[in-house]
Chains A and B, each alone.
Chain A
Amino acid sequence: MTRKNYYILTNGLLKRKENTLYFINKDGKRPLPIHAIYSIYTYGALSISSQVVNLLSKEGIPIHFFNRYGFYTGSFYPRETLLSGDLLIKQVEHFIDNEKRLKLASDFVKGAISNMKRVLSYYNLDNNMDALLENLNSCDKITEIMNVEGRARADYYRLLDKILPKDFRIGQRTRRPPKNMTNALISFGNSLLYSTIISEIYNTQLNPTISYLHEPFERRYSLALDISELFKPIIIDRLILYLIKKNMIDKTDFEKDLNYSLLNENGKRKFIAEYDKRLKKTIKHRKIGRKVSYKRLIRLECYKLIKHVLGKEQYKPFISWW
């Protein structure tokens, strides 16, 4: 049975009665079958008891918390059951050894830029992403790799502005808080993706705090930041462009009082529904020989990292092939 993501947008109470969870709000009481939950994402004011936490822990279900603005505030990362001392040692080794770390950091950026290029080509936008990929080869410091990534992203947003309607132009990338509609969408989407990746890492033996491109002290789960670079263009940016281009989202989905720089309830609902649809979308994976969902692609990326650090197979970052 495939487990689903549950997204809770309204205020309410999460209760446990024996081995079932119930979400109770002003509209009523809804059971959440425990074996059908993969992760929970919560945006409203949620009351929760330790009995609930115990059950979630037992079943290995993470909860991701966002404040009412949609900013990520933290996760309940259940007690880990998939642990491999050997793998941890290897993960650390690939951080401490500078050359090994550079290789992985550069691979993440290579994947990120290649996927940005995919998005740009989809909209027939001429770009210089190849030159930036070239630049990566001569980097011998993490900061240099980061710089290339920053330059690529700035160019990328500038190019995307060419195909965006006037109201939706990105201009400067702003966060905390984002200053306009598309910036708001990017921030909202990236936090969502970050949490999704945390859930995927949780279901592997990887330690989420050891990262290669980002410094391990940047966030609690910095490995999720590394992996998110690969998937942001393909999952989040494409989703945003789709929503805007198809006129599925407009000014009325944003908080007018806050200068349209935050999604309102309705906007969040739309975004999340489309996001979840996208995670479930499948593509045929040639090597595996079966269909895999976008969400599963993230898991496969974790597996590839495990194989790389174990010395089994050189890591090749995910680059969208469609």
Chain B
Amino acid sequence: MISEAEKKLLVRGTQINYYFVCKTKLWLFSHHIQMEQESDAVELGKLIHDDTYKREEKGLILDDLISADFMRKGKVLEVHEVKKSNKMEEAHLFQLLYYLYYLKNEKGIEKIRGFIDYPKLRKRKEIRLTHDIEKRLEKILQDIDSIIKGDVPQPQRKKICRNCAYLEFCWS
């Protein structure tokens, strides 16, 4: 059960990310029960965001949904996500893929390249959007929609719980 106001689902990059990380977190975050404000990990992420790629144009937010870490404009639009570790590959990957998908399908931008940057690892990875991935993203979007409209999913204890801002909430 969710309120009327939430029915018009706005899928944000973070939600795609949380979909891969934890469904409970996805549900709570989407219902504005957020815990990130006190998390050291989130704080660190913000510092990395502010401290790296200072010459780039940052903080662009599109339609309240897309907030890639920075973009480079030119003949080809480059979309960059900055991450602190490559631990949650799939979640990061699809977050960026969703941005590419959105820019392509909602904004009609064809010439576009996506990168994940790991400044702490001194690595950069290019990400490509394929037809199969687009299909998969559509399925994920539907999934997210129905998860949020349903009851709070029971949390599953995983290794990553240890570093999660929602740890105390789930296990209190």
Q: Which residues of A contact B (CB under 8 A)?
A: 81-87, 89, 203, 205, 285, 287-289, 292, 296, 299-301, 303-304, 306-307, 310-312
Sample 16 A-B pairs with CB under 8 A, ordered by A number.
Answer: A85-B3, A86-B3, A86-B32, A87-B31, A285-B171, A285-B172, A287-B172, A288-B167, A288-B172, A300-B168, A303-B169, A304-B172, A306-B169, A307-B152, A307-B169, A307-B172
**B152: chain A residues within 8 A (beta carbon):** 307, 310-312
> In the docked arrangement, what's the CA distance between A276 and B172, Å?
23
> In the docked arrangement, what's the CA distance between A287 and B154, Å?
15
Q: What residue in chain B is nearest A1 (Cβ atoms)?
A: B40
Indicate if the CB atoms of B172 and A303 lie closer than 8 Å: yes
Q: B2 an interface residue at 8 Å Cβ cutoff?
A: yes
Q: Which of A84, A311, A312 has the most CB of B within 10 A?
A: A312
Q: A203-B38, A310-B152, A312-B151 are in contact. Are A83 and B168 (CB under 8 A)?
A: no
Indicate if the CB atoms of B168 and A296 lie closer than 8 Å: yes
- Shortest 7 CB-CB contacts between residues of A and residues of B: A300-B172, A84-B32, A312-B152, A287-B171, A303-B172, A303-B169, A288-B171
> In the docked arrangement, what's the CA distance between A203 and B168, Å?
13
> In the docked arrangement, what's the CA distance between A75 and B170, Å?
30
**A306: chain B residues within 8 A (beta carbon):** 33, 169
- Min distance, Cβ A59 to any Cβ of chain B, angstroms: 11
Indicate if the CB atoms of B171 and A289 lie closer than 8 Å: yes
- Min distance, Cβ B88 to any Cβ of chain A, angstroms: 21
**A87: chain B residues within 8 A (beta carbon):** 31-33
Residue-wise interface mask of B (16-34) relative to A, using a CB-CB cutoff of 8 A (1 in contact, 0 not): 0000000000000001111
**B31: chain A residues within 8 A (beta carbon):** 84, 86-87
**B151: chain A residues within 8 A (beta carbon):** 311-312
**B47: chain A residues within 8 A (beta carbon):** none
- Min distance, Cβ B81 to any Cβ of chain A, angstroms: 25
> In the docked arrangement, what's the CA distance between A289 and B157, Å?
11
- Min distance, Cβ A90 to any Cβ of chain B, angstroms: 9
> In the docked arrangement, what's the CA distance between A85 and B3, Å?
8
Q: What residue in chain A is nearest B162 (Cβ atoms)?
A: A289
* Chain B positions 111-170 with a Cβ under 8 Å from a chain A Cβ: 151-152, 154, 167-169
Q: B6 an interface residue at 8 Å Cβ cutoff?
A: yes
**A84: chain B residues within 8 A (beta carbon):** 31-33
Q: What residue in chain B is nearest A288 (Cβ atoms)?
A: B171
**A310: chain B residues within 8 A (beta carbon):** 33, 152
**B172: chain A residues within 8 A (beta carbon):** 285, 287-288, 300-301, 303-304, 307
- Min distance, Cβ B9 to any Cβ of chain A, angstroms: 14
Q: Which of B6, B33, B152, B171 has the most CB of A within 10 A?
A: B33
**B154: chain A residues within 8 A (beta carbon):** 312
Q: What residue in chain A is nearest B6 (Cβ atoms)?
A: A86
- Min distance, Cβ A237 to any Cβ of chain B, angstroms: 23
**A83: chain B residues within 8 A (beta carbon):** 32
> In the docked arrangement, what's the CA distance between A86 and B171, Å?
21
- Min distance, Cβ A152 to any Cβ of chain B, angstroms: 26
> In the docked arrangement, what's the CA distance between A285 and B32, Å?
26
Q: What residue in chain B is nearest A87 (Cβ atoms)?
A: B33
> In the docked arrangement, what's the CA distance between A85 and B33, Å?
10
Q: What 6 new A-B contacts, CB under 8 Å, besides A287-B172, A296-B168?
A: A86-B32, A299-B168, A301-B172, A306-B33, A307-B172, A311-B151
- Min distance, Cβ B126 to any Cβ of chain A, angstroms: 37
**B169: chain A residues within 8 A (beta carbon):** 303, 306-307
Q: What residue in chain A is nearest B34 (Cβ atoms)?
A: A82
Q: What residue in chain A is nearest B151 (Cβ atoms)?
A: A311
Q: A205-B32, A306-B33 are in contact. Are A85 and B5 (CB under 8 A)?
A: yes
Q: Which of B5, B6, B34, B168 has the most CB of A within 10 A?
A: B168
> In the docked arrangement, what's the CA distance between A311 and B1, Å?
10
> In the docked arrangement, what's the CA distance between A306 and B172, Å?
11
> In the docked arrangement, what's the CA distance between A296 and B172, Å?
10
- Min distance, Cβ B16 to any Cβ of chain A, angstroms: 21
> In the docked arrangement, what's the CA distance between A87 and B152, Å?
12
Q: What residue in chain B is nearest A318 (Cβ atoms)?
A: B172
> In the docked arrangement, what's the CA distance between A49 and B118, Å?
44
- Min distance, Cβ A301 to any Cβ of chain B, angstroms: 8
